[in-house]
Structure 1
Amino acid sequence: MKDIKIESILTVYEDYNELPAAIVSLMDTASKARLKAYAPYSKFLVGAAILLDNGEVISGNNQENASYPSGLCAERTAIYYAGAEYPDAKIVRMALTAGSQKQPTTTPIPPCGACRQAISEYEVKQDSPIEIYFMGTSGKVVKSHSLANLLPLGFDRSFL
């Protein structure tokens, strides 16, 4: 028997204003999408913006439903739209912002497990990493150079 150590390396920006201009623009798109989210039950709004290698920017937000499992996260709303409209384009990067309408959200909020799996599918499909930037509604911003960094030992088509 042996132990295996798995590490993730993340870059932490102390503030939104430290981000490169291209990331600020993408995060602004995610913030605008967040404000349009439909979250009457959780009061937790999430916005996502995706930059494709063809220059297109796709945004999405969470869409809740009284039957909770029927809702969809912002990340999957955006990534599935990108896949449907631009099936040959690669995803270069994603910006995510999330926050509660009940209290300030200054902690960076990463994608949930289901969204990590969905993003992983596209990262494997395109055989190139997807940068992911995530934040609350203010405060620190975290960057992961790839989804695999957030989901080590991921499940993909090679197991099927």
Structure 2
Amino acid sequence: MKIAIGSDHGGFHLKKEIIKLLEEQGRDYKDFGTYSEDSVDYPDISLKVAESVQSGEFDRGILICGTGIGIGIAANKMAGIRAALCHDTFSAQASRQHNNANILTMGERVIGPGVAKEIVKFWLDTEFEGGRHTRRIDKIGLMERSF
């Protein structure tokens, strides 16, 4: 599985912690920035990660900002992207099982690195259940194409 990861300045430190986890697990990833604490606009980072997932170049993405909210809103503007804001392991698991979320968003100012790493582990290790959930994901796709 190939993972795209990115953050704005508000999520920079947590992104570094998540990258350490990905490296420890031997995961294939690419860091789409930002590469410092200097202020950047989160939609720019969100676009890079979401485009890489949308195109199929990467299987899943992880986006981090101060709250996880703005960066996820931006990602969800792209067709085929299902970015889920998760601050606990139950939500992370459910976002994969039921929603087939392809981007995880988190907030550095909301959760600490220990919880964030557990969330990432659950999210990466959980598969989509399909079944009745597929019908619902398909309806989201119809909505995207209609508007």
TM-score by length of 2: 0.37
- Highest CA radius of gyration, 1 or 2? 1
TM-score by length of 1: 0.35
> Structure 1 or 2: larger helix share?
2
